[in-house]
Amino acid sequence: MRYVADVVVSLKPVVNDPQGLTVRSGLHQLGFAEVAEVRVGKHITLEVDADSEASARRRVAEMCERLLRNPVIEDYSVELRPAAEASIAPAPPPP
């Protein structure tokens, strides 16, 4: 069974995020004064083959711990879904 895992890696709240501050300032300059905070992170999409959702979840967590995030400065979250529902392969162009 194939699963799609959406991994979001973000800086821990205590770590200053100069990219986020710059984006916020850019949005303010464009008139989006309502933007209070911006944090910039990474979105990593994986397609994984696994026997079960639990197993896929466990393996993806291992990947996050070993490589995808730096535990010193980053947190992560994972959303998992069966690949059949939505593959990361690009959709064919509309006719």
Partner 1 sequence: MRFGIAVFPGTWSDRDCARAVEVLGHQSVPLWHRDRDLGGVDCVILPGGFSYGDHLRTGAVARFAPLMESVQEFAASGGLVWGICNGFQILCEAHLLPGALTRNVSLEFRCETAWLRVETVDTPFTRACHPGAVLAIPISHGEGRYVADAATLDRLEAERRVAFRYVARDGSPVGEASPNGSLRDIAGIVSEARNVLGMMPHPERAAEPILGSEDGLQLFRSVVETVAERSVFAVAP
Residues within the interface to partner 1 (CB under 8 A): 11, 14-16, 18-19, 22, 67-68, 70, 72-73
Judged by beta carbon, residue 12 or residue 55, the one nearer partner 1 is: 12
- DSSP states of 19-75: HHHHHHHHHHHTT-TT-------EEEEEEEE-SSHHHHHHHHHHHIIIIIS-TTTEE
Judged by beta carbon, residue 1 or residue 15, the one nearer partner 1 is: 15
Token pair for 65? 């711990």
How far apart, in whole angstroms, are the C-alpha atoms of residue 48 and residue 58? 11
At closest approach, how far in Å is the CB of 45 from partner 1?
Answer: 14
What is the greatest pairwise CA distance in the chain?
50
At closest approach, how far in Å is the CB of 73 from partner 1?
Answer: 5
Judged by beta carbon, residue 45 or residue 52, the one nearer partner 1 is: 45
At closest approach, how far in Å is the CB of 10 from partner 1?
Answer: 13
